[in-house]
Amino acid sequence: DIDDAGHKYCLELELEDVLDKGRTVLCAAEVLYPLGSTSTAPEVQVTAQGELRSTEEADKEFYNRIRSLEKELVAENIPDSHGNVPPELEPIHLLAWAASGYVIWQNSTENTKFHLAQVQHVKQVKRSDEDLQFDYVLLLHEMVSQEVIPWEVTVLWHPQRGARVSRD
Amino acid sequence: MKLPVLLAALVAVATCFETFVGHQVLRVIPKSDEELQKVQELQDLEHLQLDFWLAPRGLGLPIDIRVPFASLMLVKTHLEASGVSYSVMIEDVQALVDEEQTEMLRSSRQLPLNTNTFNYEAYHTLDEIYNFMDMLVAENPNLVSKLEIGRSTEDRPLYVLKFSTGGTNRPAIWIDTGIHSREWVTQASGVWFAKKIVQDHTNNEGVASILETMDIFLEIVTNPDGFAFTQTKNRMWRKTRSKHSGSICVGVDPNRNWDAGFGEAGASSNPCTETYHGPYANSEPEVKSIVDFVKSHGNIKAFISIHSYSQLLLYPYGYTETPVPDQQELHEVSAKAVAALSSLYGTKYKYGSIITTIYRASGGTIDWTYNQGIKYSFTFELRDTGRYGFLLPAKQIIPTAEETWLALKVIMEHARDNMY
């Protein structure tokens, strides 16, 4: 308990790369949930030890593939009802995962537990600059209320600049 | 190498009177006018009964000939003697016709022929699961029977499979899956459990010893209306499909509708929410039918309700922080069950009472069953922990069912060995 500020949690986490099992990264984090307010995102400080694998090849391949599409990519229900994700949509799924992390952070309180349930819809928007843009509708499952909430998020991505949420 | 249209035509003929045993289809690609002529000569020999699937058209274009068995030697000798090369496209036309016929029948029926050909690695429709139940009963009439314990809001039958080797009203174990319709790995696991019980009994291993003194009741699709809805309209539907006056919103959370702390904190009074407890306890026929069954049976010793996801094994209470009198024993059984589960694939589970492990939840199934005197009341939350959540890939169905079964056996054996 931090008087006049809120509740602070100190965490030690081990992150595992789901695409490279066995590779873990140790993190230390401090999360401060603000007093009273449920509309302010918690403050997060995190440090990480260890290296994540390089995804440069795969990033480049994905980037070039999407840039060379004649028609803008559109997809829905990722994974589908049976849990399948077509291989060519896997990067789209992973990017949605990253974007959901941002949305979840912004909307978390001490009484919520969110997971990305499904990408309901995704639409690529071609841009004149070098970023890729994807407009997502994400379904977030909140464990305590059990609600599945649709959330619109616009994600920009670039192999060097990484992912940014531009609207949510 | 299948030529579906031609074969289908042959199938139609074959089913009537003709056989193609030993017939072969030969292919000739004429490279010269001489070769073309040699093949055309064959066409004129009516007694050979040749059937040209691809007639001679010109140089470099294939000629396909179905040759009856009796004419094979002759035709091949004629071609070889003239230096015309050919290849055997189909070695036995009848074999192919048979295969095609079986395939056509199977795909038009769209149903597996028995519980050994049923695909346990896939998610199934309500009809497929109900059909599976009937097949299982038909194959094992001395062990398995199907009971209808009630009807859903939309008038679907609520079926329970009873596994019994005899006796009268033996002490029993109850397992239900699919009470929350979007938790698809649970119904799929229920189907696998049903088959597993039969297999164990046949091989006199596993739960065969439990069946000597106890019965097992298994309700695979506890919420069929919700399940049908997840298949047709909304994959994320959780509740029942009841409409209660005063609201346009549909459905009651069947795991908040039981008479244990009903309506207290840990459920919602708003009909438009996922944890709506309903207008009164047991308002949902899906719940009431189980309540009636449990009360009239009177001899259920273990009750296990299966959900997903989160990888948890839970015991009562959810509606109050007061620990159950049997807390210590239930905690120890849980520890053992979870250890057994993890031993198979390393899947990590947490365990504890509902209120301390996930959240406060009132009107829940196992709070009611425990208060009825069913000491061994447990809830499972199966795989995973959020990566796929409700949309667990089908290839995880069997591993999930297998590991969960080990935990279930621990609970069942403990109930058998600690009769009360």
pLDDT tens across B106-132, in order? Answer: 554 567 889 999 999 999 999 999 999
User: Looking at the partner chain, which of A77, A83, A118 has a beta carbon nearest the beta carbon of B393?
Assistant: A83
Q: Answer whether A6-49 and A55-167 agree in fold.
A: yes
pLDDT at residue A53, rounded to an integer: 84
Residue A19 contacts B where some CB pair is shorter than 8 Å: no
Mean pLDDT of chain B: 92
Could you tell me the pTM of the whole model?
A: 0.81
Q: In terms of DSSP bridges, do strands B350-353 and B376-382 run parallel, antiparallel, or are they unpaired?
A: unpaired
CATH number of A55-167: 3.10.450.10
Q: Is the pLDDT of residue B4 over 80?
A: no
Nearest-neighbour CA in chain A from B364: distance (Å): 14
pLDDT at residue B205, rounded to an integer: 97
- Establish whether B212 is a catalytic residue: no
Q: Is the pLDDT of residue B50 over 80?
A: yes
Q: Please compute the mean of the pLDDT values over residues B261-286 and round it to a whole number.
A: 98
Q: Is the pLDDT of residue B249 over 70?
A: yes
pLDDT-based confidence at residue B374 (cuts at 50, 70, 90): very high
Q: Is the pLDDT of residue B95 over 90?
A: no
Tell me: domain A6-49, CATH 3.10.450.10, correct? yes
Domain ranges in chain A are: 6-49, 55-167
Exactly one of B219, B284, B286, B381 is catalytic; which is it? B381
Say whether A117 and B274 touch across the interface (CB within 8 A).
no
Q: What are B250's two structure tokens? A: 């549909």
CB pairs under 8 A between A and B: 56
pLDDT at residue B1, rounded to an integer: 46
Q: What percent of chain B has pLDDT over 70?
A: 93
User: Looking at the partner chain, which of A18, A118, A146 has a beta carbon nearest the beta carbon of B274?
Assistant: A146
Residue B389 contacts A where some CB pair is shorter than 8 Å: yes
Residue B265 contacts A where some CB pair is shorter than 8 Å: no
**Lowest mean pLDDT, pick from A14-18, B94-98, B148-152, B237-241:** B94-98
Q: Which residue has the higher pLDDT, B409 or B28?
A: B409
With a CB cutoff of 8 Å and minimum separation 6, the contacts of B158 are B148, B149, B150, B151, B152, B219, B222, B224, B285, B286, B289
- pLDDT digit string (tens) for B214-228? 999 999 999 999 999
Say whether B391 and A139 touch across the interface (CB within 8 A).
no
- Nearest partner of B351 among B370, B327, B368, judged by Cα: B327
- pLDDT digit string (tens) for A4-48? 778 999 999 998 888 888 888 999 999 999 887 778 899 999 999
Count of C-beta atoms within a 10 Å radius of residue B87: 10
- pLDDT digit string (tens) for B325-347? 999 999 999 999 999 999 999 99
Read off the amino acid at residue A10: C
* Nearest residue of B to residue A146, measured between CA atoms: B274
Say whether B394 and A146 touch across the interface (CB within 8 A).
no
Q: What percent of chain B has pLDDT over 90?
A: 72
pLDDT at residue B2, rounded to an integer: 44
Nearest-neighbour CA in chain B from A129: distance (Å): 33
Q: Which residue ranges form the domains of chain B, and what is each CATH number?
A: 24-91 (3.30.70.340), 114-418 (3.40.630.10)
- pLDDT digit string (tens) for B164-179? 999 999 999 999 999 9
Say whether A83 and B253 touch across the interface (CB within 8 A).
no
Q: Find chain A residues with C-beta within 8 A of B387's C-beta.
A: 18
